Homo-oligomer: A and B are copies of this chain.
Amino acid sequence: MLIVMGYQARKEEIAAVIKAIECMGLRAEPIPGGERTAIGVLGNTGYVDDSTVRDLPGVQEVIHVSKPYKLVSRAFHPECSVVTVGNVRIGSGERPVVTAGPCAVESEEQIMRTARAVKKAGADLLRGGAFKPRTGPHTFQGLKEEGLKLLAAAGRETGLAVVTEVMSPETVGIVAEHADLLQVGARNMQNFDLLKELGRSGKPVLLKRGMCATIEEFLAAAEYILAEGNPNVILCERGIRTFDTATRNTLDLSAIPLIKELSHLPIMADPSHATGKRSLVRPMAKAALVAGADGILVEVHPEPEKALSDGPQSLTCEDFEALMNELKPLYNYLGF
């Protein structure tokens, strides 16, 4: 931690800051600069809560060198992690995985039909929402437990492991009964009670980046799950909110190689939610893989025009098959 004093900071103010640091059991190293003095803080072994000094007279700025996460950090765990979902290995040098399925489970016929189609086309995992977070209360909220059962059945029949979203701590148990990978949606990335409960569950977790979460906040959210003893976390870049509304969100692909430098966790990308536009899903799915993603999430619906949610961004089964055919030569290029 570095404390930057203001231009006019007085000797006594600098002394008071040094004293406060020492009260915290740390060492203070004054660095008299050209325009002002900075004070280096030594001896901490992790992130320091700055509130005791930040506020002392004369202090202009407090700069953190340590990060609010450690367990997820590559610095403390240099080799890439692999998370196993069903019989699928995700991360490290493994071939990227494709997770496909409808935004929401709507009926047995819809999810079965989709599951068979994506399995046939070569998907590795089946996705489908049973509990749906929706902006307003007056729209379709998902089939809930019935949806979970339909999804699980489709997974069993096709032999695909299944992914679905969990929205609250008290439903972790029931969702964990039916799903192989538990998804935390962007709106819940900082629902800390949910993260802790998932940490205790030990089940593989797919943590989506919040719409306005910095990469540091994203990794700190994953830290909550690992801190409860669950190392099975897969990150997912799903687009951030920016000033531009031409796409539903802005897919931040550079976050993928950057997170691979900062963390050992696998990271996937969701071009469907990110772009919100079918025609952009195929190019962005491929771009994500070239950027280093360990997998992609793609929304597929047999009849997008009849979908109860997110129709415009869903691929048809035919579109999806076409995408999978484009991925084969791409895997060759990537060396898988």
Contact = CB atoms under 8 A, between A and B. Distances in A.
Contacts of A223: 136-138
Given A244-B240, A290-B290, A51 B212 contact: no
Contact of A47 (B138, B243, B308): B138
A261 interface: yes
A320 interface: no
B252 A215 contact: no
Interface stretch (A93-101, A113-121, A188-196): A188-196
Interface stretch (A38-46, A122-130, A149-157): A38-46
A292 B280 CA distance: 11
Contacts of A252: 242, 244, 250-251
Interface residues of A, number: 115
A221 B284 CA distance: 26
Interface in A297-336: 304-312, 314, 329-330, 332-333
Contact of A192 (B44, B167, B224, B244): B167
B31 A31 contact: yes
Interface in A251-302: 251-258, 261, 271, 274-275, 277-280, 283-284, 286-288, 290-292
A188 B191 CA distance: 7
A332 B54 CA distance: 36
A220 B41 CA distance: 30
A25 to B, nearest CB: 12
Interface of A: 2, 4, 6-8, 20, 29, 31-36, 38, 40-47, 49, 51-56, 61, 63, 65-66, 68-70, 75, 133-140, 167-171, 187-188, 190-194, 211-212, 214-217, 220-221, 223-224, 227, 240-247, 250-258, 261, 271, 274-275, 277-280, 283-284, 286-288, 290-292, 304-312, 314, 329-330, 332-333
20 contacts: A2-B40, A7-B75, A33-B40, A34-B42, A35-B46, A47-B136, A51-B305, A133-B190, A137-B223, A214-B243, A215-B246, A241-B243, A242-B243, A243-B243, A246-B258, A251-B252, A254-B280, A258-B277, A287-B290, A290-B290
Closest 7 CB pairs of A and B: A68-B136, A212-B212, A51-B311, A31-B40, A7-B75, A187-B190, A168-B193
